[in-house]
Structure 1
């Protein structure tokens, strides 16, 4: 099969490889589409960041070179030998958060916090390939009415769903999403789908602001207009701020924006550290929570349902569809350019 494999910084090769034989509890998936995530791009430009290079990962036994890609949708072509999971022909979104199954976190169904967590595309072979091996029991079925070209957004949508689940008082909340990339757009829509009273999205790109307003009831503004927009809300102000950009200074800015007693959900992952203003945190009794690794049954399954019933209007978020063979020559250069009209690039692996 063809697979896009990371060999080193600025060294990704689409090459012919032989997939390993699936274990008894694994399925073999024919990949239809695989989205490119910011983590894929960062491994290309600045890696190794997460990819093991010095010794094999303790769970997967894999190290570079390995196949990238964790935003996957495809069709089962070989079922699990132990009888678990979907049958041959089932369209699935393979979950990509695998824990050891034995540690304190895994026993609490918090596999994303497992000290040995293994994500295909990062610590194991992923889905930027014609075939992918996945855990059978954590594959989520794609309903008949959901196009595969939209279902490829299930993994980033699961990130949004999990971020919203971190807010127990979301119903009736006044909210703001910082950052209008794919995750920010999906988070803003998931916030409204969960029952928030309103949601603003702030982004410097006019294209992304127009996209947000065209696809939901989100109101959008530029960073320069944000203070005035928040002031117009009146007391008490913003209940929740979702920081989805990871940009320098935005976490501190979120504390300036959220009301006393409010909540900041950190979703964006920047490259460095950001200060947290202790007076705003302590004296204002504001709260800060991180959100990252999704669960297949609580987050991925819900993301698929929201995409299927249209509560997440995500079809147009895939702005580019590029064949696997052109990943290095077309897709990666496109992502590397500061083009505001690129949201999600989906790679055609069929």
Structure 2
């Protein structure tokens, strides 16, 4: 089969590799679409970040080269040997987060915090390939009426669901989102679907602000947000820009919550006096859970409460993955979600 594998920084190759061999509790997905994520870009541009290179993953025993890709949708090609999970032919969104199952975090269903966390597409082979292995019982079945392309957005929508959950209920709340890329747009749409009273998206790109406005959000440039007297109950930083997190903290009201989503290579400074004296909460959000965050995201997409089709800006073949990664890294302001056709 074909797979887009990370070999080293700046070295991703589409090459022929053996098909995966599943464990008894795993099924094989024939991948239809897989999104290129900012994480894939970071590994290409700055890696290795999470990809095991010097020594194998402590529990999964995996080592580069690794097939990238974790925003996956496909159909079951081989059902699980142990009988768990859906049958052959079912369209599924596979879970990619794998905990050890034994540590204090896994026993509390917080697998994303596992010290030996594995993630398909980062620490072991993912979905930028013809076939992908996945734990059968954690695959979400995609109902009829939802296209495969829309289902490929379930994973990034899960990131948005989890980020907002970090702040508790947003029903009736004001939410500010710093960053109008794919994740920022999804955070805004999920917040609206969950009953937020006011949603504001902050981004320097006019087209992204227009897109947010078409879905009911207020659109502001960073300069307009800086000069605004409005504060939010919840501010989500979804940019990764060095100036984004300080702005998100400043926009958070007294006693409110700032959620950090974006990853930046260098540390950033926030106003500690503002944070402490106004008793603001600052939390991070990263991994998501298949039966909580991902199930909610799928349900919101299925019911049309979070539209996602207009976030897909580019569709490319698997052979052009490197071009897709470079497109995501370009200064092209029209790039949002790049989907790879793996069928």
| Shorter-chain TM-score range | over 0.9
- Aligned residue number for residue 224 of structure 1: 223
Residue 67 of structure 1: how far off its partner (Å): 0.4
- Listed as ranges, the matches of 1:7-156 within 5 Å are 7-156=7-156
Please state if 1:200 is matched with 2:200. Answer: yes
- Listed as ranges, the matches of 1:151-190 within 5 Å are 151-190=151-190
1:65-117 deviations in whole A, cap 9, x for unaligned?
Answer: 11000000000011111111111111000011110001000000000000000
- Aligned residue number for residue 341 of structure 1: 334
Residue 32 of structure 1: how far off its partner (Å): 0.1
Partner Cα distance (2:92, 2:69) in 1: 15
- Aligned residue number for residue 282 of structure 1: 276
SS at match of 1:137: helix
- Aligned residue number for residue 304 of structure 1: 298
Instruction: Provide closer, same or farther for how the CA distance between residues 148 and 298 of structure 1 changes in structure 2, counting only shifts above 3 A.
Output: same
- Listed as ranges, the matches of 1:235-314 within 5 Å are 237-314=231-308
Partner Cα distance (2:3, 2:226) in 1: 47
1:146-173 deviations in whole A, cap 9, x for unaligned?
Answer: 1001110110000000011112241111
Residue 38 of structure 1: how far off its partner (Å): 0.7
Partner Cα distance (2:169, 2:24) in 1: 42
Partner Cα distance (2:287, 2:145) in 1: 27
Using the size of structure 2 for normalisation, the TM-score is 0.98
Using the size of structure 1 for normalisation, the TM-score is 0.96
Partner Cα distance (1:23, 1:259) in 2: 49
SS at match of 1:13: strand
Q: Is the 8 A contact 2:24 2:80 kept in 1?
A: yes
Partner Cα distance (1:169, 1:53) in 2: 40
- Aligned residue number for residue 313 of structure 2: 319
SS at match of 1:51: coil
Partner Cα distance (2:145, 2:59) in 1: 36
Please state if 1:331 is matched with 2:332. Answer: no
Partner Cα distance (2:15, 2:210) in 1: 39
Partner Cα distance (1:54, 1:263) in 2: 38
- Aligned residue number for residue 6 of structure 1: 6
Give the gaps of 5 or more residues in structure 1: none
Alignment root-mean-square deviation, CA? 1.1
Partner Cα distance (1:178, 1:226) in 2: 9
Residue 227 of structure 1: how far off its partner (Å): 3.4
Partner Cα distance (1:103, 1:35) in 2: 31
Range 274-283 or range 170-179, more displaced: 274-283
Q: Is the 8 A contact 2:33 2:341 kept in 1?
A: yes
SS at match of 2:97: coil
